Structure 1
Amino acid sequence: MPTIFKNLTINPISRMRSNPSRTVLSILTGLYLLNPLILIAGELHQHIEVKVVEERVQTNFCNPEKGCSLVKPETLGLPAGQMPIDQLTGTPIYVSEFIIFPDRTAIDSPGFESIAGDMTAGDRVRYRASGHLSYWSSDKHQWSLAPEGVQIRLAGGLDLQPNQDCGQVFCIPITVEGFTIFSRHGVSSASSLIVGEVRSDGSLHTHLDWIVESNLGTPNAPIGAYMVELQLITDSYPEPSDSLWIMFNNGLPLQDFQQAVAGRVLQSNTDTTLADKLFGWAESNYPTLFPHAETSFIALGYYARCYQNGACVGVKDNHIFAVGGEFGANILTLGEFNAFAAQAGL
């Protein structure tokens, strides 16, 4: 297995560790002793709580009283007791921080954890990746799409493929390790892989590897905050959980990272009043594309409108997206929201 923590894996399906928090801490401590300039990211290490409630997978911020790791709101610059939840959409945001390794910049946090009795023994938990890679830089102070050529690779997820070579009537499927790529253009490679297998007591504790990569001619991706989108399902409960976002700090001073968090939690990332004006302008000037104006709504992180011809347009991360109708079945990125608003004279 090519993952950066492969030597710590006990079970190739469950990817469970005997003491993952202690293991991660020892790795970070060793790195710090080698290079004291590296920022220790222990404050931003946490787990995502996973359980099944009413026949559906549910995720939540974990409870430290049950033994898991949770980032304190104060660390993120939030008022005491206020959890990082996106103001516009109500989506929970789990935070982590990349570490610079000799050959890559990566982290295995957040992990996924269930306590005994929360899940069905032997059930396989899977993620479903969606959305576009978001980015916040300290110079623009605004969430947008990630720069071209930058991506986050989620490695260590597993898939089961048919085995036709065992010589038996029924062959045990082959376990294959895969990965998912998040970029400004969306999700590529495997969009869904196995996170882990639930233990016999109904508990789960597993970590995958998040790696930020760049082909911009520099060894490291641009400094800033990055964010991806996931849902969780299991083999027994295929209805997906509500969406969750995972935000990573890549080299920002803590104060700047707190501003990136505030740009989602303490204020709306989208000017909905301006978006409605832009939707209205488009409906007046392009009635064949956007006929019969409807009320705006929030879905899947977008502030959007849909029309009777099947077309939908939405604003997210300072960009305009469209799908359906004459735009086709795939989500298209039309351009920057601010630029369209300026062009419309708004």
Structure 2
Amino acid sequence: MLKKMSLGLSLAAALLLPTWALASGDHAGDIAVSAQNGKLMVGGAHFETHGVTGFNIYEADFGDLASGPWATKDPGFQTQGSDLLKPGALISFEGVGKLSFWNGSAWNVAQAGVGVSVADVYQDALTTWNASGVTPGETAYVSEVSLSGTIHDHLKMSVTPNAAVGAYMIEMKLTSADYTSSDSFYIVFNRGLADAAFESSVEALVTAPVPELGTYALMFAGLLGVGLMVRRRQQ
């Protein structure tokens, strides 16, 4: 049950929210949400592109003044410009993969016992990424589209208190009953690194090497060889 109001009531209440909550102005750092040919899309003014997957990378900083030493509410999720969504549509998020950690020189799976959690906008239900994967929350709502077709919400994202200094990365996608799910995207969080060191962690993702054609050829040849061996044994 949604806390203190149903989804229907929250849609009506959205009309009474302050202007910042209705995307009256575009926040450059937010994740821009739109739809194209029935599919949710993510964009914005400030993001990088992963060198291997091609997915968007957004940056955040644990310990911002508004959310305390282990949390942040940025980036938010917002329709921008003339991009509108279906009024009343529910937009949710879905966690993907495992929690990644930058130790200053390489990205690896995070250490055991550390998690990054994202609270949904209605119930504060937590979805948590850790070294084992994703534990979904009871609900994972990002926003309900207003009557004017806009959204603008900020979810609280937090890391385990006293987590090791470094950068943490989660992968998620946006979902809705009214649209096809978006492609995955990443949020990379700074946990105590100097700005230059944090940017190095993002740069490592952006410049991650794409396998060359020769590498693919070797992989294919290896798989073909294994297949032939198995076939001969069967014969």
The aligned residue for residue 207 of structure 1 is 154
CA displacement at 1:199 relative to structure 2: 1.1
For residue 31 of structure 2, give the secondary structure of its aligned residue in structure 1.
strand
Identity, in percent, stands at 26
For residue 99 of structure 1, give the secondary structure of its aligned residue in structure 2.
coil
**Matches of 2:130 and 2:211, distance apart in 1:** 20
List 4+ stretches of structure 1 deviating above 4 A: 11-18, 100-104, 269-281
2:227 alignment partner AA: H
CA displacement at 1:189 relative to structure 2: 3.4
**Matches of 1:264 and 1:272, distance apart in 2:** 20
2:154 alignment partner AA: H
TM-score by length of 1: 0.53
> Retained in 1: the 8 A contact 2:86–2:145?
yes
CA displacement at 1:193 relative to structure 2: 1.2
- Find the partner of 1:47 among 22, 30, 36: 30
Structure 1 residues 1-346: aligned runs within 5 Å: 18-19=19-20, 46-62=29-45, 70=46, 84-99=48-63, 105-115=70-80, 118-138=84-104, 141-158=105-122, 176-190=123-137, 193-213=140-160, 219-237=161-179, 239-268=180-209, 292=227
For residue 150 of structure 1, give the secondary structure of its aligned residue in structure 2.
coil
> Retained in 1: the 8 A contact 2:59–2:188?
yes
Change (3 A) 1:109 1:276: farther
CA displacement at 1:190 relative to structure 2: 2.1
**Matches of 1:84 and 1:205, distance apart in 2:** 21
CA displacement at 1:262 relative to structure 2: 1.2
**Matches of 1:212 and 1:275, distance apart in 2:** 38
CA displacement at 1:271 relative to structure 2: 9.6
Change (3 A) 1:105 1:206: same
What residue ranges of structure 1 are gaps of 5+ in the alignment?
A: 1-10, 21-44, 63-69, 71-82, 159-175, 214-218, 294-346
For residue 74 of structure 2, give the secondary structure of its aligned residue in structure 1.
coil
CA displacement at 1:267 relative to structure 2: 3.3
How many residues of Structure 1 are paired with residues of Structure 2 in the alignment? 209
The aligned residue for residue 3 of structure 2 is none
> Over aligned residue pairs, what C-alpha RMSD do you find?
3.3
**Matches of 2:213 and 2:205, distance apart in 1:** 14
Change (3 A) 1:279 1:181: farther
**Matches of 1:272 and 1:105, distance apart in 2:** 43
CA displacement at 1:178 relative to structure 2: 1.2
> Retained in 2: the 8 A contact 1:226–1:249?
yes
**Matches of 2:64 and 2:213, distance apart in 1:** 38
CA displacement at 1:129 relative to structure 2: 1.0
Higher relative contact order (CA 8 A, sep 6+): 2
> Retained in 1: the 8 A contact 2:120–2:139?
no
CA displacement at 1:269 relative to structure 2: 8.3
Deviations 1:192-233 (A, max 9, x none): 6111111111111001000000xxxxx510011111111112
**Matches of 2:64 and 2:130, distance apart in 1:** 20
